[in-house]
Structure 1
Amino acid sequence: MTNERQGNEAPTGNVALVTGASRGVGRGIALGLLEAGFRVYGSGRSIEQADLPPEIRRLPCDQLKDEETAQVFETIRSECGALHLLVNCAWGGYEKMVEDGAFTWPAPFWDQPAHRWTGMMDAGVRAAFVCSAHAARMMTPRHRGLIVNISFWSAQRHLGNTIYGIAKAATDKMTSDMAVELKPFAVPVVSLYPGLVRTEAVVAAAKSGAFDLSTSESPEFIGRVINALFHDPNLMARTGQVLVAAAVAKKFGVLDVDGNSPPVLTLADIGSEG
């Protein structure tokens, strides 16, 4: 993928949109892509209050509202004329994990609160589908672009709760099927699995001994990995696949912000439940 200017594309280089960029993995991806030279747009409900540099264009958006999502893409179209990279990171599944003093996250499916389905399936999977449709309309005419869906191992093993598994499995299947329809237009789409990421919530939990951060990844690391994928001339050979971020990093020599190379986790390394 080259940096040539086509049509009315922005002269500033490659344009990226990261959804769910207000905090956590999404924020780190936005920072990593900015470091790599992308013109970065970040969307999210609380994006205006996010700790982001002024170079990142903030687009307030509740991805449960299709009209707000459409406005995000219209803004990018009007300001840049093109979109080269979409990272679907919006996700509402980690909200309200404790309710009325009860930790409901691992509850059996019949005791799960209804909002968790909305947070994972609507604010997560459906939001990624809608954003990908908007992005495809901008990418396919140019036969250029990349869509990355952030997913996780819960697609393949029970982790946490049933809805979590459903959402991530749906994300991976969506990636696989989108790849079939995008292939004639040379637009790849992949699912990307981070490892244990040092988000604000994970760092806070680690202080109580909940996590061992010795093999963890910074949020910016995922952005660096996505940049490497974007510039891989053979990326179409990977379209539709599930990729592990640390494995991609090993292949392309990508290091974390601290200079470390995070270990590549496998399904066997991920604890099972039930």
Structure 2
Amino acid sequence: MISERERNGAPTENVALVTGASRGVGRGIALGLLAAGFRVYGSGRSIDQADLPRGIRRLRCDHLKDDQTARVFETIRSECGRLDLLVNCAWGGYEKMVEGGVFTWPAPFWDQPPHRWTGMMDAGVRAAFVCSAHAARMMTPRGRGVIVHISFWSAQRHLGNTIYGVAKAATDKMTSDMAVELKQFAVPVISLYPGLVRTEAVLAAAKSGGFDLSTSESPEFIGRVINALFHDANLMARTGQVLVAAAVAKELGVLDIDGSSPPALTLADLGLEG
């Protein structure tokens, strides 16, 4: 659907939806895109209580519930008539990491609590699939749009636990296959790997000596990288690929909010090489 403003040649803001924008990386992406001039919609279960500026349109949504997800896209369609960028950042599985006094996150797959599968595969991978389907229905008629899935290195090697790896590997495979089907419509799809991001949880852990933040990234940095990719004239050449945010930033000249250039982490840096 092409808006009346587009038909008349009037300038329009690029419209972005960031799922999971209540906190962490999702919140940072929403802030980064807002600063870059996007009209930003942020969705999440606790979005109404999120620390976000008024410029971000909050859409309360539990992405485990398809009817609520559908309403998010209906709202964007009715208010804007189009969607230019979808960033799938909604994720689950980090809840209840300690149960009965036991830290279950690194447990072998046979000792993992069942809710972690639901959190990562349903609230994460399935939610991204459903949102992407809605986005594709809005983007393909216009032959314009970008879909970004936030993923991580656990897709490449064992990191944390088996469910985490399965979920991120599924995200990367979803990226490559969606890219094949959307290529004829000039809608690129990418998986983007953040580095060590200074989310609320990471900052809290750092205070207790759990993390060295010297090579970390601000949450807004990922939003800056996505903005640069969105405006990259050669973005279709990257469709279906897994990209490391910090490496893309160096290539496209993107700096963090403090003017730094975060290093691009590798499997070796994570102790996962080989």
Residue aligning to 2:123: 123
Equivalent position amino acid for 1:253 in 2: G
Question: Cα offset for 1:9?
Answer: 10
Equivalent position amino acid for 2:240 in 1: G
Structure 2: runs of 5 or more not aligned: none
> For the residues of structure 1 that align with 2:28 and 2:196, how far apart are their CA atoms?
13
Call closer, same or farther: CA 1:139–1:10 in 2, change over 3 Å: farther
Contact 1:8–1:80 (8 Å) recurs in 2: no
Question: Cα offset for 1:12?
Answer: 4.2
Superposed, 1:258-269 pairs within 5 Å as: 258-269=258-269
Contact 1:9–1:80 (8 Å) recurs in 2: no
Identity percentage of aligned residues: 87
> For the residues of structure 1 that align with 2:118 and 2:264, how far apart are their CA atoms?
31
Residue aligning to 1:91: 91
> For the residues of structure 2 that align with 1:5 and 1:35, how far apart are their CA atoms?
23
> For the residues of structure 2 that align with 1:124 and 1:7, how far apart are their CA atoms?
36
Q: Indicate whether 1:17 and 2:17 are aligned.
A: yes
Superposed, 1:165-176 pairs within 5 Å as: 165-176=165-176
Contact 2:189–2:239 (8 Å) recurs in 1: yes
Deviations 1:117-139 (A, max 9, x none): 00000000000000000000000
Call closer, same or farther: CA 1:30–1:144 in 2, change over 3 Å: same
Equivalent position amino acid for 1:158 in 2: H
> For the residues of structure 2 that align with 1:271 and 1:59, how far apart are their CA atoms?
39
Question: Cα offset for 1:5?
Answer: 5.2
Residue aligning to 1:195: 195
Residue aligning to 2:161: 161
Question: Cα offset for 1:266?
Answer: 1.2
Contact 2:172–2:191 (8 Å) recurs in 1: yes
Q: Indicate whether 1:60 and 2:42 are aligned.
A: no
> For the residues of structure 2 that align with 1:5 and 1:177, how far apart are their CA atoms?
33
Question: Cα offset for 1:195?
Answer: 0.1
Count of equivalent residues: 270
Question: Cα offset for 1:272?
Answer: 3.7
Call closer, same or farther: CA 1:11–1:101 in 2, change over 3 Å: farther
Residue aligning to 2:71: 71
Equivalent position amino acid for 1:265 in 2: L
Superposed, 1:178-217 pairs within 5 Å as: 178-217=178-217
> For the residues of structure 2 that align with 1:21 and 1:9, how far apart are their CA atoms?
31
Superposed, 1:43-54 pairs within 5 Å as: 43-54=43-54
Call closer, same or farther: CA 1:9–1:163 in 2, change over 3 Å: farther
Equivalent position amino acid for 1:255 in 2: L
Contact 1:9–1:81 (8 Å) recurs in 2: no
Question: Cα offset for 1:7?
Answer: 4.4
Question: Cα offset for 1:6?
Answer: 2.8
> For the residues of structure 2 that align with 1:239 and 1:246, how far apart are their CA atoms?
18
Contact 2:5–2:12 (8 Å) recurs in 1: no
Q: Indicate whether 1:32 and 2:32 are aligned.
A: yes
Deviations 1:172-212 (A, max 9, x none): 00000000000000000000000000000000001111111
> For the residues of structure 2 that align with 1:15 and 1:267, how far apart are their CA atoms?
34
Structure 1: runs of 5 or more not aligned: none
> For the residues of structure 2 that align with 1:167 and 1:245, how far apart are their CA atoms?
19
Equivalent position amino acid for 2:29 in 1: I
> For the residues of structure 2 that align with 1:71 and 1:153, how far apart are their CA atoms?
32
> For the residues of structure 2 that align with 1:187 and 1:217, how far apart are their CA atoms?
28
Residue aligning to 2:151: 151
> For the residues of structure 2 that align with 1:10 and 1:44, how far apart are their CA atoms?
32
> For the residues of structure 2 that align with 1:132 and 1:92, how far apart are their CA atoms?
17
Question: Cα offset for 1:270?
Answer: 1.3
Call closer, same or farther: CA 1:20–1:100 in 2, change over 3 Å: same
> For the residues of structure 2 that align with 1:150 and 1:48, how far apart are their CA atoms?
22
Deviations 1:214-240 (A, max 9, x none): 000000000000000000010000000
Contact 1:159–1:271 (8 Å) recurs in 2: no
Question: Cα offset for 1:94?
Answer: 1.3
> For the residues of structure 1 that align with 2:271 and 2:8, how far apart are their CA atoms?
49
